Structures are given as structure tokens and as C-alpha cells.
Structure 1
Amino acid sequence: MGRVCLPWRRRVGKGRRDRFVSFIAATSMTGIALGVAALIIVLSVMNGFQKDVRDRMLSVLPNIQLYIAGASPEESLPHWQQYADMAKKNPEVRGVAPFVSAQAMVVRGQTLRGVQVQGIDPALEGNVSQIPRQMVAGKLDDLKPGSFGVVLGGDLAAALGVKLGDTVLMLAPQGSVSPAGFAPRMRQFTVVGVFSSGNYEYDSSLAFIDTQDAAKMFRDSGSAGVRLRVADMQRAPQVAAELSRTLPPYVIASDWTRNNRTWFAAVQTEKRMMFLILALIVAVAAFNLLSSLVMAVKDKQSDIAILRTLGAGPREIARIFLVQGSLIGVAGTAAGVLFGALIAYNIETIVPFIEHLFGVHFLAPQVYFISELPSDPQISDIVAIGATSLVLSLLATLYPSWRASRLQPAQVLRHD
């Protein structure tokens, strides 16, 4: 009776082992797919975050700024048109406008805020920024020379508790020294407008006044010059370098990447680190693939030995497991790319649905500058992720394939 049941038991045990090996292979494929999808989604979100913040920055900030090193606003502002004409000779320059920039304190009642004050020409500001189109109350044209009006960011106005027609007290960092002590230079300004750029950092810390009022207010503490807009903001560093060669040596050309270098460098470093960290998920799935193939080789020793006795060479045996492992890697990578791309291209719809469903808000604008989760899938990233996954999967098949090709038929059949 035992002899009759023994083959049946062997078949049952072999069937269970086959199912277990198949389960491990399916797990490896799923792990590869999830790892690839996670990489695509995370990198797309980081690209979208960088693009969104950059675009919102450049809706307020100029592409390039020209200013005279060491000169006060009263000295450099009258000559801005001369430098603007020199800059417009470059075919990449599409818009020019004068500016005065300085730090100040704004006081309203018991509330005090530090602000970045920008003196602008309302008639020309639309040539270099989107501030005129971002006004939510009042008009930028209400900034008149000598009227000492001010346009505040929406969050700054809310923090100060002011609306159109209210007055605020602005204090310059420099002042005068008298027998009574140090007296800061101060001036009362009337709120004539409120803007909203969608970037909390600027909406909570920027104030715009007329250039002539700014020159009087910050005559010994600010800087002045020309703001430029170029045809392609990605070429701003090259255009700034070209302008530096044609302008006088005392005129400094500073582009937006230079002014925000620390932030963009941090984002790029974070993106690289996230790629390396999430690539470990794919690496773990590749190790699972390796273990499943090793188990398959162990389970199929007898079949391999029979194939060898029928004339199959080591290369043919190795090719079988190479193809098997490669198919798992290709299928997992393809599934991951499709799933990841589907999520990445629709994340701006999926995330609001999840937020509404669970009543949560993932991004606080005070922390992340933006309130919505952006996504910018890039083909180069998707190709790099897919290639990395395929390479790791191929590497995982090398050892099991080599192990299978080294099996000796006589030894295997002797112990079977």
C-alpha cells in the first residue's frame, strides 16, 4: 500500500512546491511593479512641486536683475533707462522695468511684520512679472508717485488686519541720530491694493510701492536697477552671462537661478536621494526574483538533468532561466510603468478626491508654499526608472542561470 501511495505523495508534494515557487515569482513581479510605480509617482510629484514653485516664484520675481554695486537708489535709479536700452540689444530680452529693493518693518496697531519692499513702476511692471494680473483688490496703477500708497500680499494684509484705504506705518532700517537718540526713518502708507500669487512666502512678506517713493524712503539702505524678462527663463543664466560681458563692469547681472540657488540645489539633492531610496524597493524585489529562481533551479534539478542527458548544453539550460527571470522582470516593470504613469498623470484629480473623502488636507501652504499636490511626469525619468528595473532584474537572473548550467546530470539522477 505504501509503495502505491508513494508516487502519489511525490506528485502532491511536487505540485505544492510548484505552486509555492509560482507564488514567490508572482510576489517578485508584484514587488517590481510596486517599486517602479512608487518611483514614477514620487519623482513626478517632486518634478511638479519644483515646477509649480518655480513658476509661482517667477510670477513675482524677475528673470534677471541689473543693479549697480555699491550705489544707493537715489544714485542708480535715474540711470535705469540707460542700462535698460543696453540690455534690450540682446534679442532674448523681452521686457524691462525699474525697481528699488529694500527691507523694512510694517506696523499696524500692535502688529509688526518684517517685509521685503519692492519699488516698481506700475506702468511697466507687467512687462516683467504677473503682479498686475494677480491683484485681488484695488489696482496696481493706484501707486502714484508722492502718494505713498502700498500694495500688500494677501496673507500679509490678513496678518496686519488691513483692507483698502487703511494706513500702515513703514520703518526703514536706517534713520538719524539726534540728542534724543536714534530715530528710525518712518512713513505712513495707504493700502491701495492686495495681490495673491499663490506662494505663501511672497504673499506674506512682499509689499510694492512706487519707485520714486521707495527711493526717498530707502535712499541709503536699498538697491535699485532694472528687472528683465527673457524669452526662455531656462536660458536666463546664459543671457545674464552675455549681459555681463556687454554691460559696464560695475553693473551686476543676477538671474533667478542664482538668487534662489540654495532652494533649487536642495530640491535636486532631495530628488536624487529619493530616487536612491525608492530604488531599494526594486532591489528588494529583484532579490525576491533571485530567490524564486534559485528555488526553481532546486526544484527542477531532475528535469534539468534529463534535458542534459537528451543533449541540451549548459548554455541552453542557462538561457531557460534567463528567459524566465527576464519575463518576470519585464512584466513587473511594464505593469509598474503603466500603473505609475496612470497615477502620476491623474494625481491632481485623485488626491483632491481622497482629501474630500477622508476630510484631510495633505499640504499646508504655510509649510510647502503650495496647497495642492502637483505632478509633472517626465519621459526621461520614466525611461531611467524602467531601465534601472530591467537591469536589476537581469542581474538577479545571472546567478540562478549559472547555477542551473553547472548541474551535473549523473550526480542529480543518482540522488533522485
Structure 2
Amino acid sequence: MKRMVMAACAAAFSVAGVHLANAEGEPIVIGVASGQTGTLAPWDQGAARGAELAVEDINAKGGVLGRPLKLVVRDTKSDPSLGPTVALEVLDAGAEMVLVACDYDFGAPAALATISAGKIAIASCAADAKFGVQGVGPKAFTMSLATNGQGALLAEFATEQAGWDKVYIMKDTAIEYTKSLCDNFRKRWVELKGEDSIVGEDTWNGLNDNAIAGQISRIKAASSANFVMWCGFTNNGSMMRQVRSAGIDLPILASESMDGSHWIDAVPDLSNFYIAVYASIYGNDPEPRIADFMKKYEAKYKEPAKMGHVVTGYTAVEAWAHGAEKAGSLDPDAIKAAMETFSNEPLLTGGSTFTPELHINLNTPMLMMKATNGKFEPLGRRAAEKVDPPQF
């Protein structure tokens, strides 16, 4: 009997192996409608490349429902007003799912056009919790950790650092992500350290402002500050260069919007800089699957990834494929329902959880890294111990 069971299992595995090795039929189109050029290019181009690697890996294992995947990429030029037009281009090319920009403000217009056409839209890394059921629509998902989780994670990390008792908060008001990141950091920090531990708060607009001389003067005047919470995004690194050039050498704490090698040259020998990222791009990620992915990326594109967000592009396709396989169908409503059952679903970036009410993760771990003399070292992955759910 034991031999018969083993033989039956071997036969089943062999049949499955044939299926997995031979994806056939008309390709299933995955569309990308995001900023391949312009402001969001460092995020969105990398996410599109990550999606391409996911398509290759999934096809090598037999595709989705036995059919191969095909990627169609179009450029919004990082202009939200072009989002609907570009989304319709990939939908006209047959897209069953559309990957949109790594931001609520930039990605929502393309996502709205996609779900209006009855298809699922997934943002590679829009982290404002409005990207989902409440702010875009029932078929909108994002692979990001919500700013609720990111802000709480960073606040808890900061409380564990020796001497980090007083914070100066710098908030970029250009996009919803940076505003809600600071708001959620502030809320958790005050819970842990009290209102008096905030010695200064300032704002700027990363899309419109070229200089922050006034803000720098006020940081210098806040002599009791032990560190700066930096809720901004990279652009060309000019803001961070201004801070360090002014002689402010306080620890600076930031999140994944400041990830990337594309701006580091603007701040030579960057030090005392701490950041939460989805993946290390420096060949030292402690998670073996992500480290292997980064090797594949460099081998394919002949250069290292510029931002860790390449893994969220991969995960977006991976998540949709898991949903289609669970549903046993390409019907968008069935895939949506299947994705809403994800509970710590094993994906490249870690366990992913969705519900009918929340299409964004709250507890996915992020990798903390520290820069010293321009070199980044991993400090380990962590998730927040306490995350308040989004309020809409």
C-alpha cells in the first residue's frame, strides 16, 4: 500500500510537473501604467522591472491557470492627469490587471480608470491607506505597508535608540504619503514619549520648494533635538544635502520614500542616517529570497537595482497570480474575493494580509538600515508592535 501511495504521488507530481513546465494558450496580459520617466521614475521603473521578473518566474512555473503572462508597459511620465489615458492604453491591449504608480496621488487616476473598466488595479507601493476600497474603489489594492504601520514602526525604533529623546519633525506636504507618514509617526511617538518630546515641527513642499534655509535655521535653533524625523521623498537629494552642508549632523530617521542609490552622490559620505526599506539594494539583505532576487535583477538589467521598491513590483504580480489561482478564474470579482482572504500570504516582501475593508498591509515587516560614510548596513527586519487602523 505504501509503495502504491508513493507511486500515485509520483505520478501526480509528474503530471503537475508537465503542467508547470508547459504554460500554453493565449497570454494573459498584465499592464503597467506608471511613471517610467519623470519624478516617479526611480520608483516606477524599478517596479515595472520587478514585475517583469515576476512574469518570467511565474511563466517558468507554468503561468497562471496554465497560461503564460505577458507584460505591457506604458509611461504616464509621472503626470497624474495622463494616468487614465495610459491605463486605457494597456486595457485596450487586453490587460487583466494594471500595475499603477507607487503613490496615492500619482497612481489613483490610473487606478480609477482601471476599476471603472471592471479590472483590478494594484499600486506597487502606494502607502497612504486611502489607496484601496475607501479612496479609490473596491478593486484597488496596494502592496505597500500603510503609513500607519510605517510611522508606528519608526517611532518604536526611535524609542529604542540611546539618547533619542527629543525629536524635530520635518514634514513634506507635497503628497499624501509624506503627510500621513509624519502624522502616524507623531501619534505613536507621543504615545511613547509624550508631547514635550517634540521640540520642533516644520514643513516644506518637495515638488515646489528648492531651498529650506528657514527650516534649517529652526532645526539649528532647537538645540535640545536629538534626532530629526524626515517625512520627505528623495528627488535629487538636494534637501538632504542642504541639511548636512549646514552642519546639522543629528541622526536623521526616514522611511522608504528616501530609499535609493540615485540620490546618494548628492550627499557624499552620508552618515548617521537611518531608514526603513522593503529590501536592501546593496547585496546584503538578510532575507535569502530577496538577496537572490537582487542577483537576478542585476544579471538581467546589467546594473544593481536603484531602489528596494523593485520587490513591490514583483509582489504585485505575485499577489494577483496567487489570487487568480485561488479563484480558479480570471474573473476580477473572483480574484478580488480571493485576495481578500489573504492572511499572511507568503510573498516576496513577506506575509501579506487583506480584508474586504482594507486592501493595504498594516504589519508587513520592513528592513531597518543605517548609513555610515555612504555605506548602508542592515539592522534587521521589524514590524510595529501597535498599529492603529486607518480612519477614513
Q: Per the shorter chain, which TM-score range?
A: under 0.3
Larger radius of gyration: 1
- With structure 2 as the length reference, what TM-score do the two structures score? 0.22
State the structure with bigger RCO (CA 8 A, min sep 6), 1 or 2. Answer: 1
- With structure 1 as the length reference, what TM-score do the two structures score? 0.21
